[in-house]
């Protein structure tokens, strides 16, 4: 099993020294969904949310989230991102919005965290834009889909098997 690089020999957290690593092209893709009532999704599709263009604002928020990751995650290195692409997919049958983010840089460390933070900020922004009409929205399935570059090379996630039987699952409320 690989060692955890964010801990020194004494077990204390530290920022990993990447100075000796070569700069390489790094890419990562992450995704997640937000589930809402069908009538809420209709507002997203129609562009009729009271706060305006839900997906347009969420796209900008996701990009900003990727750029600010080092400010939010204590041991992340600040990175000069070369590309952040945000895509939203609406699924009427499931009443969900899926956010997928691709992040790229040329650097000494990967961009998985930037992709994950971007997805979560994008989804949280969708929630914020729609909470007046649907406070019961649920965000889930946030995960890295793939990463490329660096010493460890390429990695692609297995297909999502869905909820795990050994997990208690999300808490529910009377609004769900």
What sign does the dihedral 146-149-150-154 (CA atoms) show? positive
Integer CA distances (angstroms), 176 to 36, 55, 136, 138, in order? 9, 23, 6, 9
Rounded Cα distance, 45 and 65, in Å: 24
Write out the DSSP string of 26-50: EEEEEEEEEE--HHHHHHHHHT--T
Nearest Cα neighbor of 55 from 43, 69, 38 is 43
CA 30 – CA 116 distance, rounded (Å): 6
Q: Which residue has the tokens 């690989």?
A: 2
Q: Other C-beta atoms within 10 Å of 122: how many?
A: 31
Show which residues are catalytic. Answer: 128
């Amino acid at each position: 099993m690989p060692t955890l690089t964010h801990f020194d020999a004494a077990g204390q957290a530290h920022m990993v020294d990447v100075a000796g690593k070569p700069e390489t092209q790094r890419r990562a893709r992450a995704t997640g969904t937000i589930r809402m009532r069908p009538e809420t999704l209709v507002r997203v599709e129609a562009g009729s949310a009271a706060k305006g263009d839900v997906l347009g604002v969420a796209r900008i928020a996701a990009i900003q989230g990727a750029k600010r990751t080092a400010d939010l995650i204590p041991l992340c290195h600040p990175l000069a991102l070369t590309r952040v692409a945000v895509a939203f997919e609406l699924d009427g049958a499931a009443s969900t919005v899926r956010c997928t983010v691709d992040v790229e840089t040329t650097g000494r460390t990967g961009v998985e965290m930037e992709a994950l933070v971007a997805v979560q900020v994008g989804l949280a922004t969708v929630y914020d834009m729609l909470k007046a009409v649907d406070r019961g929205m649920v965000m889930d399935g946030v995960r890295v889909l793939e990463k490329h570059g660096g010493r460890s090379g390429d990695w692609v996630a297995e297909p999502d098997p869905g909820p795990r039987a050994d997990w208690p699952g999300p808490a529910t409320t009377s609004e769900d």
